[in-house]
């Protein structure tokens, strides 16, 4: 079997797509039964900050940098009062460090001012924090608070969902919110958080952006881009 070279959309009804998505989910559970967030954390605050730092960076880099930041600034109040230049220096390796430092300190200031120093546990409150959009909020809600309020759509999830034609957005293929809504229609709510983590693992290990390993992919028989509908 050749590697996928282009995204292919099968002709199928919404119910057929939902049935195929269920089979993909079962396949992911066999492959990654313990799939979970790769960002190391011990609190909702640590997960929030690590998720902000992970944008355009790797989890490995964040997992090296974040402990240094948390050791010096263990609470939201500490980070809210931190010198911006010091935070920038600590998180420099994650990239876009100036903007990230502002997001971290400002979101912590908002947490202190509006939430008593504790990370809020609702989507509406989380997305009010500087630097926090739906993707980050979904990570916090699903991973820490165990609330399946949505699907985390990062670059891996978006790429694989499109490649597998679980979603099909065409010119809107980079619109994470629209992709999330598509996935919420075909993936059971109880599996939203797990599905995201498992898809991320599959994207890293098998279905890479440049060279997907369709020949060794156990989900290939369900993937139109791997020739499943030829």
Kindly list the catalytic residues.
135, 154
CA distances, 11 to each of 168, 181, 196 (Å): 11, 20, 25
CA distances, 111 to each of 84, 133, 156, 204 (Å): 17, 15, 29, 33
d(CA 186, CA 41): 30
d(CA 60, CA 62): 6
Rg of the Cα trace of the chain? 19
* Residue among 222, 185, 202 at smallest CA distance from 20: 222
């Amino acid at each position: 079997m050749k590697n996928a070279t282009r995204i292919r959309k099968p002709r199928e009804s919404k119910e057929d797509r939902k049935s195929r998505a269920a089979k993909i989910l079962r396949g992911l559970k066999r492959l990654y039964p313990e799939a979970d967030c790769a960002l190391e954390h011990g609190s909702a605050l640590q997960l929030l900050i690590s998720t902000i730092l992970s944008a355009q960076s790797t989890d490995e880099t964040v997992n090296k940098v974040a402990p240094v930041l948390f050791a010096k600034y263990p609470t939201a109040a500490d980070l809210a009062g931190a010198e911006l230049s010091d935070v920038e220096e600590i998180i420099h390796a994650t990239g876009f460090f100036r903007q990230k430092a502002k997001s971290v300190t400002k979101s912590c200031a908002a947490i202190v001012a509006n939430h008593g120093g504790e990370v809020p546990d609702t989507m509406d409150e989380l997305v009010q924090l500087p630097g926090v959009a739906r993707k980050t909020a979904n990570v916090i809600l699903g991973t820490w608070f165990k609330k399946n309020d949505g699907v985390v759509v990062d670059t891996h999830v978006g790429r694989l969902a499109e490649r597998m034609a679980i979603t099909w957005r065409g010119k809107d293929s980079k619109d994470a919110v629209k992709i999330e809504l598509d996935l919420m229609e075909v993936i059971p709510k109880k599996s939203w958080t797990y599905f995201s983590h498992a898809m991320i693992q599959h994207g890293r290990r098998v279905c890479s952006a440049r060279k997907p390993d369709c020949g060794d992919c156990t989900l290939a028989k369900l993937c139109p881009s791997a020739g499943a509908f030829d």
